[in-house]
Chains A and B, each alone.
Chain A
Amino acid sequence: MADKPKLALYWASSCGGCEIAVLGLHEKILDVAAAFDIVFWPCVMDMKYADVEALEPGSIDVCLFNGAIRNDENARMAHLLREKSKVLIAFGSCAVGGAIPGLANFSSRDEMFEWIYYQSPTTENPSRVFPQRRTDVAEGELELPAFWNTVKALAQVVPVDYYLPGCPPEVQSIELAVNALVSGAVPPSGAVIGLNIAVCDECPRERQDKKISRFYRPQEIIPDPAICLLDQGLFCAGVATRAGCKARCPQVGMGCRGCYGPLDGVYDHGARLLSAIASIIDADTPEEVEAVLDTLPDPAGYFYRYYLPQSLLRRRARENGQKQSAAEKTPVATPTN
């Protein structure tokens, strides 16, 4: 028991799908349990932060960290697990690139609070009660972790050893990583564990020369099952997105949304995708270009769905004078992928 490598899993700002994905290993989870000594997995086992704090630095061999960093608690656990882990893996698209929580970077914290706690149609909050950092109760003062104005990827807060993208990472991707770690055949530090080719490579749909004269939303047409979705005007990020999922979404008629992120060496997934899509728009005049683009609702959401915080943009421009908190500002490491 004592000789087995120690494994930790943590869930920061994310939906929990990544935890389910680990369980999706089915009976292979027993191999994981056999190969590793699981020291920390709050989703499954009852352990406190204090138990982690009590560990020696570097005593965890591998930590699978899922979720983005959007508050002080996420950041605190990122720093703690970094200190205690030999190998820290950004597990899933939220940890790798900020992903869906990262879309909050198109708004400010105040705008979000205003909508979520006051304006949204299903909210009844006439006295405008908003989350407070500190609240006095009979037992004393309660404190909530500070909610950041900007969502960050894990590597923008602490150094990360490997990246395992996916929303969630597919079982075969996890197996790839687990096998690499168990066998010791790990890629060079800083690498994304996975393939370095786009989704199209795994997609059986037939592709032609591309010219898009308008975009369709999925409910507007029934796509030909054998032809490339992008060729049919259905937005598909597969051209710019790392393979590894066996083109699951395109295979069932839903365009890729880009969760596996860009290939190695690409600085900005959204910009790459945007530049590719813009290149194949069938238009000669600015007006025609506008008309084609008008058929694509929410371009920012399409192009930057999973990798906004990690992109060159990072977020919508802050208004003048709007400051970052000290915690948000401190360590900014650019992911090496």
Chain B
Amino acid sequence: MTEIKNAHFTTLKGAYDTEKMEATLRVRRYDPETKKSRFDNFTVTIPVTASVLDALDAIKDTHDGTLSYRKSCRMAVCGSCGMRVDGGAALACKTPMKKFVDAGHTITVSPMGNLPVIKDLVVDMAPFWQKIRAVKPYLDTRDVDVPEKEWRVEPAASDQIHKESLCILCGCCVSECNSMESDPEFLGPAALAKAYRFVGDARDQDTRERLRDLNGAHGIWDCTRCYFCNQRCPKHVDPRDAIAKLGAESFKEGFTRDEGAKHAKVFVDSTYKGGYLRETELVPKTIGPVNAIKDMPFALQLARAGKVPNPLSPHKAKDNDEVKRLWKLLEKEAKGQPRRANAKHPDAVQGD
């Protein structure tokens, strides 16, 4: 096996002194000229500390210079080397090889999903950037005298969007998004996490317009809650949680006309009224009575199997007055708090 002696490893202090291991990788190749895909296996000798990206570098340096992939910082900051390792999107630079070698496992490296492949492991990020641009990823400071120096924000206000600010735009969350597989136009987890980063920003003046836009087709209510985005994100942004926060902000601002929001409202109302979900109200209240009637043959199929609970005697939990009182208490408490739009200025502190 070829000993790797290249500039890359010599820059790692002590890398040559570390123990070496032999690793095999199965790499998906795609040739844009022939439009054909194949898998190539490569075996390389790499330091025990090597990442998947180091292993790809070793392949490119010693086996096949035509292997294409993106990389830059090698330290999980730039977001360039997103790719699938055994089918799950990850940063190649942040994924150590040793655990696979120790397990005697040959990893499969393939390009991220939900994005067109250009060559080998390189995907076309254009649709990704288009969606990021669609959520206006910049502060709207209309009607505000923007300070000349920095515009300081109280830590508590900054904390609101801390997680979403950690995004490095690598695309790992998008790769396995189940809704996007089904609806390629879905804005998706990265763009929606970015959207919340601005909706939740105490300085931004565009909250209502942003939320209005996010409540339409391909917006927040397209999310199927598969949680692949939270699972894949290498920076713990938890995009699904950001989407839920956008839902809550939408409710606060009164954007509740999307079918997704109506669906959510039935759950809220059901607990208040009786405890468990009122299943028979879910369909007409989400899609409207006319569409519900159009869907009657389907409802009859369910009824035949005994799956339509009697709407005249809905479930009533014991002691549900507690829940009613709780709801009223929390609504009163929420009303006492300033609405987000008004809360922004007191939170924002002008710089020295």
Answer yes or no: are A and B bound together in one complex.
Answer: no
- Chain B contact residues, CB within 8 Å of chain A: none
- Chain A contact residues, CB within 8 Å of chain B: none
